[in-house]
Structure 1
Amino acid sequence: MTEPVIVGVDSSGRSLRALVWAAHEAALRGARLRVVHVLPTWEHDIPFHPPGMWLNVRDRGADIVAEAAAIATESQPGLDVSPELIIGRPATVFIDAAEHASAVVLGARGEGGLRNVLLGSVSLQVVGHAAAPVVVVGYVNSGHDRILVGTDGSAGSTAALGYAFEEASLRKAVLYVLRSWGMPATAEAGAAAADPGEVTARLRRELGEQLVGLRARHPDVTVQEELVRSGPSAALIRASERADLAVVGSRGKGGFHGLAMGSVSHALLQYAMCPVAVVRPVGGADAA
């Protein structure tokens, strides 16, 4: 049985974008959509609060999830949608829920004319700790029929590639696999400078080896491979302008050295022009 897709909702525009994206994702996977609004814990933690405040907050939350469920059903008729009010701290609620989810979808913080997506602490915590893939929806860039995935050749990036192949297959989209690399600023003492042509040939062989099993499991997916001599963050952000979804691992090494929150994945979450999925390896252990 397919695990549900979970989406966090509030009353913001960013939440609506995440909701519509999540409903489409659940429909593609044939999964249930859990529409979750988190109520504050202060009703239990703080005994003295204005009379009626908790009831007002609870009722407002009930209206939010009911409206969100209606929108999801309207956008994807026949979708199994469950509206849920949960009391707790938002990051903890979604991290716990991710243990039994095919994906957790959250809206990015930030509205108006800002080009970059200002992530909130909840999104960052969930991305950094959730077992399931976490999709942060800021800009919705659809119609390209293209899934972007960044890889560094590490074992950890295989999880991102696996999810990206699934998404490309579900969406009947081209999969664009990007590996970025750069020559070292200075060669080690006594060592000959690396030849760019040799480096490119070696990385292309490694990339082909990393993809062979995934290609066999997803023969329906058209794959485009590209090696770019550029900083990984800049390369992925540029490529996101022509993608419907960008996928990265939670941590990496080599060409994507330090791929972790605060590094490449953080930069992509901040500045990508499409939804971004961050995927952790099975078991939650990042690549060293």
Structure 2
Amino acid sequence: MTEPVIVGVDGSGRSLRALAWATHEAALRGAALRVVHVLPTWEHDIPFHPPGTWLNVRDRAADIVAEAATIAKESQPGVDVSPELIVGHPAAVFVEQSERTSAVVLGARGEGGVSNTLMGSVSLQVAGHAAAPVVVVGYVSGGNDRVLVGTDGSPVSAAALAYAFEEASLRRAQLHVLRAWGLPTPADDRTVPDPEQIAEEYRHEVERDLGELQARYPDVDVQVELVRSRPSVALIRASGRADLAVVGSRGKGGFHGLAIGSVSHALLQDAACPVAVVRPTRSAGAV
């Protein structure tokens, strides 16, 4: 049975864009959609009374999640939509919920107010620790019919590749596999790396990583690109031609203790399309 898609909403414009993306994703997967608003404990414990009203924060939160669920139901009548209001720490709630979902979808950041400003930090924390892929929606792009994925040969990027193939197949989109690389530092003044040889080695590595996935998803048209560039720069540039960018939570160059790497962080900040961050803690293709 396909696990549900979870989307976090907070009433901001960007969370509504996340809602639209998640609703479409649930329809593609034939999955249920859980529309979740997390009311931080400190707000729940301190009622808020806007001037001229008697609404407290919990009432306002209930309105936010109910309205979002209604929007989702109207846009995709065939999707089973359930609104949920949960009290707790937003990042901790979504990380815990990620154990029982095919994807967690969040807005890049809120648009004003104490609650809304949490969304940016929440997205980063959840992307770094969730068991399921986390899709952060800042800008919604469409019509490119292309999924972008960054790879570096690491186990983390292998999980990203698996999820990217699945998404490309669901969307009947081309898959753009991008490997960005730079010349290694010479061992001494007499050793000069051969760029063509290095590029050829990386191409073989990418083809090896793609082999099993191409057999599993023969319907996916794959475009492989190797480019000499900083990975973050290359991926951000390529995101302008994609409807979804997929990266691992951190690559070969990241410090082991970091939950999310610099490339993933940069893409979350500046990509021109939604970004999926995938960790290797569970098979991205299993739903």
TM score, norm. by length of structure 1: 0.89
The code of the aligned residue for 1:142 comes to G
Q: Which residue number in structure 1 is paired with residue 234 of structure 2? A: 235
Structure 2 unaligned residues grouped into runs of 5+: 113-117
Is the 8 Å Cα contact of residues 48 and 56 (structure 2) preserved in structure 1? no
Aligned to 2:166: 166
Query: Structure 1, unaligned stretches of length 5 or more?
Result: 113-117
Percent same amino acid among aligned pairs? 73
Tell me the alpha carbon deviations over residues 85-109 of structure 1, each in whole angstroms, 9 at most, x when there is no partner.
1011100110000011100000011
Aligned pair count reads 272
* Matches for 1:105-144 after TM superposition, within 5 Å: 105-109=105-109, 120-144=120-144
Cα distance between partner residues in 1 of 2:120 and 2:200: 41
How many angstroms apart in 1 are the aligned matches of 2:197 and 2:180? 15
Paired letter, 1:209: R
Residue matched to 2:58: 58
Q: From the superposition, tell whether residues 246 and 119 of structure 1 become closer, same or farther in structure 2 (CA, over 3 Å).
A: farther
How has the CA–CA distance of structure 1 residues 51 and 93 changed in structure 2, closer, same or farther, with 3 Å as cutoff? Answer: closer
Match of 2:247 in 1: 248
In structure 2, what is the Cα distance between the partners aligned to 1:6 and 1:50?
Answer: 27
SS of match in other structure, 2:84: strand
Q: Is the 8 A contact 1:119 1:270 kept in 2?
A: no
Partner residue in 2 for 1:194: 193
Give the AA of the match of 1:130: A
The 10-residue stretch of structure 1 (194-203 or 19-28) with the greater mean CA deviation from structure 2: 194-203
Letter in 1 for 2:254: G
Matches within 5 A, 1:1-288: 1-42=1-42, 49=46, 56-109=56-109, 120-184=120-184, 186-189=185-188, 192-253=191-252, 257-258=253-254, 261=260, 263-283=262-282
Provide the aligned C-alpha RMSD in A.
Answer: 2.2
Pairwise CA distance, 1:78: 1.4
Conserved? CA contact 1:134–1:278, under 8 Å? yes
Is the 1:6–1:104 contact (alpha carbons within 8 Å) kept by the matching residues of 2? yes
Distance 1:50 1:88, change over 3 A: closer
